[in-house]
């Protein structure tokens, strides 16, 4: 069970005194230089209500640390700053506080760059920017930095236990991580901690498992790629091949795939439409045996020169940039084939994990609520959402590849607000919208087009499930919508073109 640093109870600070003293002693001994390039980050995070998407959720305060880089930029995790309604940075000793803004955010990689809104007058200018550390190895010791209430730095020595490709918090994509072994104290700013080696930024801590005492991090090599991308002001993100695969260990399955004992590889289960892989001619059922000249083993690992066995996706996400090409060797029906893929970014999934940074998309027409399906919406069905959420919605989430031709976004009639227009439609909901007034609905924006042309004063909405058809009185819809606005609904829609 992973425990993430979220809001920490105040009680923890009592414990801190004794532990912190110890750790800072040991830290003082091992750190050659004591960098001062940290700031506290205070964020007020406010998401949206998945069921009533016009409503904000409860605000949450997050506190964490950021590492100061050149040009007054501060690096932190996207988890720390995403969906913030207020963001501020604070000097280590607590004497200066300044509002800050997000410069670049990558929720897939869980990284963000922020800066003070005060530009040249900012206290950040006084701090020494941190450099990125060169790559480290298992066995190396690093310091995990925290700030005590007094503003003094506290560093805990931890050891790189292993390196691995670890799924990130945001998009389910995996990134290179140092796994650190060592006990950390709870602290009032434990969210997003800089990991330092030899005075340089080696990684950012993303989660800590207090039972195992293992920290997961984003290594400096990932941060480096992120910064290089962001440097020109046009951030494009990490490259993606656009496939899903599974390891191939069962002997009968291997024989059926005509794999010899030497062959490893990954069995391709999904190729996303329009992806780099699809353009390169990779098909479901292919076995990817070699990527960029590296042979994959039966579990999908390749032999990295520095680190030994690493997950194959690192060859793409950890070493390539969008627009670069990569050579891939496939085995298809017993024959080896060479393909070259030109890497693109990871396009939006049909059912994205997160809603848009500006809030979930919706449209209200006469009290009928339409929403773009996201995983966040499905999560609103609770702990057992994977079996409790409506099956038709789950199916699109789990098997998007079957729907990509029919839709660009999954537009769902989620529910109806009781009103004069929705009389009798109390049970209608949780179904996909196929047409509105004859207009095919492939994305949220199509709804608006459809609702522009009611016939004989009636809107006709065609649905994927019973009752398949509902009708709304166009004039009454407008009245109901106006009334909803008067009752305090901030807006009748949030649609991104």
Q: Which residues of the chain form contacts with another protein (CB under 8 A)? A: 244, 246, 249-253, 255-256, 267, 269-270, 284, 386-387, 391-392, 394-395, 398-399, 421-425, 458-460, 466-473, 476
Q: Which residue has the tokens 């997003």?
A: 192
CB 90 within 8 A of CB 188: no
Side-chain half-sphere exposure of 171, counting CA atoms within 13 A: 22
Q: Which two tokens stand for residue 273?
A: 């439409």
- Between β-strands 174-181 and 153-167, what pairing exists: parallel, antiparallel or unpaired? antiparallel
Listed residue (320, 284, 288) closest to 301, CA to CA: 288
CB 195 within 8 A of CB 144: yes
- Preceding amide of 188 cis, omega within 30: no
Q: Which residue has the tokens 């400096």?
A: 220
CA distances from 489 to 52, 484, 486 (A): 10, 6, 7
Question: SS3 sequence, 428-441?
Answer: CCCEEEEEECCEEC
Listed residue (270, 246, 241) closest to 340, CA to CA: 241
What is the C-alpha to C-alpha distance for residues 389 and 387, in angstroms, rounded to an integer?
6
What is the C-alpha to C-alpha distance for residues 188 and 209, in angstroms, rounded to an integer?
17
13 three-state secondary structure: helix
Element (H, E) at 258: none
Beta strands in 51-184 (DSSP E): 60-68, 73-76, 84-90, 97-106, 111-116, 141-147, 153-167, 174-181
DSSP 156-216: EEEEEEEEEEEE-TTTS-EEEEEEEES-----TT-BSEEEEETTEEEEEEEEEETTTTEEE
Residues 6+ apart with CB under 8 A from 443: 407, 408, 409, 411
DSSP 406-426: T-SS-EEEEEE--SGGGTT-T
Q: Which residue has the tokens 């007058």?
A: 121
**C-alpha angle 466-469-474 in degrees, rounded to nearest 5:** 140
What is the C-alpha to C-alpha distance for residues 428 and 463, in angstroms, rounded to an integer?
10
């Amino acid at each position: 069970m992973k425990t993430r640093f979220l809001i920490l109870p105040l009680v923890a600070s009592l414990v801190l005194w004794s532990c912190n003293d110890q750790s800072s002693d040991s830290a003082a001994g091992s750190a050659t230089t004591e960098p001062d390039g940290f700031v506290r980050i205070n964020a007020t995070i406010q998401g949206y209500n998945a069921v009533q998407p016009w409503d904000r959720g409860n605000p949450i305060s997050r506190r964490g640390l950021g590492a100061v880089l050149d040009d007054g930029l501060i690096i932190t995790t996207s988890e720390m700053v995403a969906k913030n309604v207020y963001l501020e940075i604070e000097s280590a000793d607590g004497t200066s506080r300044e509002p800050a803004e997000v410069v670049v955010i990558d929720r897939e990689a869980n990284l963000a760059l922020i800066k003070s809104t005060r530009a040249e007058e900012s206290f950040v200018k006084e701090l020494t920017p941190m450099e990125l550390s060169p790559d480290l190895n298992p066995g190396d010791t690093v310091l995990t930095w925290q700030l005590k209430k007094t503003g003094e730095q506290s560093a805990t020595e931890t050891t790189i236990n292993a390196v691995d490709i670890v799924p990130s918090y945001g998009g389910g994509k995996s990134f290179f991580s140092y796994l650190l072994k060592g006990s950390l104290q709870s602290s009032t700013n434990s969210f997003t901690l800089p990991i330092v080696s030899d005075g340089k930024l080696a990684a950012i801590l993303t989660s800590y498992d207090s039972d195992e005492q293992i920290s997961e991090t984003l290594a400096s090599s990932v941060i480096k790629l992120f910064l290089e991308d962001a440097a020109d002001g046009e951030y494009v993100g990490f490259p993606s091949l656009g496939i899903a695969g599974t390891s191939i260990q069962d002997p009968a399955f291997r024989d059926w795939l005509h794999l010899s004992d030497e062959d490893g590889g990954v069995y391709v289960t999904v190729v996303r439409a329009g992806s780099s892989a699809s353009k390169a001619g990779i098909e479901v059922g292919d076995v990817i045996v070699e990527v960029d000249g590296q042979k994959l083993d039966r579990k999908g690992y390749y032999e990295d020169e520095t680190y030994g066995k690493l997950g194959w996706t690192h060859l793409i996400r950890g070493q390539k940039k969008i627009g670069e090409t990569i050579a891939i060797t496939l085995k298809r029906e017993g024959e080896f084939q060479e393909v070259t893929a030109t890497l693109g970014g990871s396009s939006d999934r049909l059912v994205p994990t997160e809603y848009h940074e500006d809030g979930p998309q919706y449209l209200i027409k006469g009290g009928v609520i339409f929403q773009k399906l996201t995983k966040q919406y499905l999560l609103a069905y609770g702990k057992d959402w994977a079996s409790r959420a409506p099956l038709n919605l789950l199916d699109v989430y789990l098997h998007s590849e079957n729907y990509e031709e029919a839709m660009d976004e999954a537009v769902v009639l989620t529910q109806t607000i009781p009103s004069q227009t929705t009389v009798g439609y109390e049970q209608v909901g949780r179904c996909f919208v196929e047409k509105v007034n004859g207009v095919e609905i492939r994305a949220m924006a199509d709804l608006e087009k459809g609702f522009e042309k009611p016939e004989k004063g009636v809107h006709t909405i065609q649905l994927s499930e019973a009752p398949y058809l509902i009708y709304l009185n166009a004039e009454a819809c407008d009245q109901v919508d106006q009334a909803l606005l008067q009752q305090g609904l901030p807006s009748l829609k949030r649609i991104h073109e």
